[in-house]
A = this chain, B = another copy of it.
Amino acid sequence: MTETANPTACIVVIGNEILSGRTQDVNVKFLATRLAELGIALREVRIIPDIEATIIATINEMRAAFAHVFTTGGIGPTHDDITSPCIAAAFGVPWEPHPEAWANMERHYKPGEFNAARQRMATMPRGARLIENAISIAPGFSIGNVHVMAGVPRIMQAMFESLAPTLPGGKPIRARAVHGQRLLEGRLAAGLAAIQARYPTLDIGSYPYYRGDNNGVAIVAKGTDEAASAAAIAEAAALIESLGVSPILGEPPI
């Protein structure tokens, strides 16, 4: 992966349900795609369990290392939702009722239904900035460079879109691709390494695909310089053609 002038980011997925195999994570792919569009370079993902010491240590390591930290999961009302108090502990600030979140939730629920469990969702690290969303009355929040979002994909996505306009980004990272059917990576490796060497600002990747009888290799060039990506993919197409395979622009159909 090349150096970048864009801001960097990591994602911290907090949830036993991913580590147990119960749940297929889909939040990483969504966030990775949107961050690239915003010109934010996603550099690492960590998936960690609902263990207080692990969450605190991971958040403190990641917020020092990257410009943005996005967390998903663990902000609901049940006993296994411990992200919010852990973030307060990581920042060394009190975990206390957030006046605006508390007032919004109190107004939302019928009398008597804003119980202790739901009140936990309006309790946040001191200084938290709310991440509102159209789907859930319970907001996410940002503190410092850490953005704390729900784990349920449609709520997380709504929170991210509410947050996105406020994020300092960079140049969009765009991808171009070409693929060749019944092509083997071992045949194009040397030529592709030479193309990568000629375009040091791009990340050029080679990805075999297996779609029933439709096997082949896709070559993807990613970077902020679209002219360079286009030129590198044109060279990759010529390389594929030189091996007797017809290059097809774009990714292979799914």
Question: In the docked arrangement, what's the CA distance between A208 and B196, Å?
Answer: 45
A45 on the interface (CB 8 Å rule)? yes
Chain B contacts for A45, CB-based, 8 A: 13, 18-19, 45-47
Contact bitstring A1-40, B, C-beta under 8 A = 1, else 0: 1000000000001001111111111101111111110000
Contact, CB under 8 Å: A193 / B78: yes
Contact bitstring A219-236, B, C-beta under 8 A = 1, else 0: 010100000000000000
Question: In the docked arrangement, what's the CA distance between A18 and B13, Å?
Answer: 14
Question: In the docked arrangement, what's the CA distance between A205 and B188, Å?
Answer: 48
Chain B contacts for A51, CB-based, 8 A: 1
The copy count of this chain in the complex is: 2
* Of the residues B42, B54, B80, contact of A19 by C-beta under 8 Å: B42
Contact, CB under 8 Å: B76 / A208: yes
A210/B152 contact (C-beta < 8 A), A21-B32, A115-B186 known: yes
* Of the residues B1, B29, B36, B207, contact of A49 by C-beta under 8 Å: B1
Main secondary structure of the interface of A (DSSP, over half): mixed
Contact, CB under 8 Å: B29 / A21: yes
Chain B contacts for A44, CB-based, 8 A: 19, 46-49, 54
Chain B contacts for A46, CB-based, 8 A: 44-47
A106 on the interface (CB 8 Å rule)? no
A103 on the interface (CB 8 Å rule)? no
Question: In the docked arrangement, what's the CA distance between A157 and B51, Å?
Answer: 29
Q: How many whole Å from A177's CB to the nearest CB in chain B?
A: 9
Chain A contributes a number of interface residues (CB within 8 A of B) equal to 67
Chain B contacts for A23, CB-based, 8 A: 29, 207
Contact, CB under 8 Å: A208 / B48: no
Contact, CB under 8 Å: A186 / B117: yes
Chain B contacts for A35, CB-based, 8 A: 21
Contact, CB under 8 Å: B19 / A32: yes
A206/B78 contact (C-beta < 8 A), A45-B19, A115-B190 known: yes
A118 on the interface (CB 8 Å rule)? yes
Chain B contacts for A175, CB-based, 8 A: 20, 22
Task: List 8 extra interface pairs beyond A1-B16, A20-B203, CB under 8 A.
Answer: A20-B175, A22-B175, A24-B26, A44-B48, A45-B47, A78-B206, A115-B190, A117-B189
Residues of A within 8 A of B (CB): 1, 13, 16-26, 28-36, 42-51, 54, 76-80, 113, 115-118, 121, 152, 154, 173, 175, 185-190, 192-193, 196, 203-208, 210, 220, 222, 251
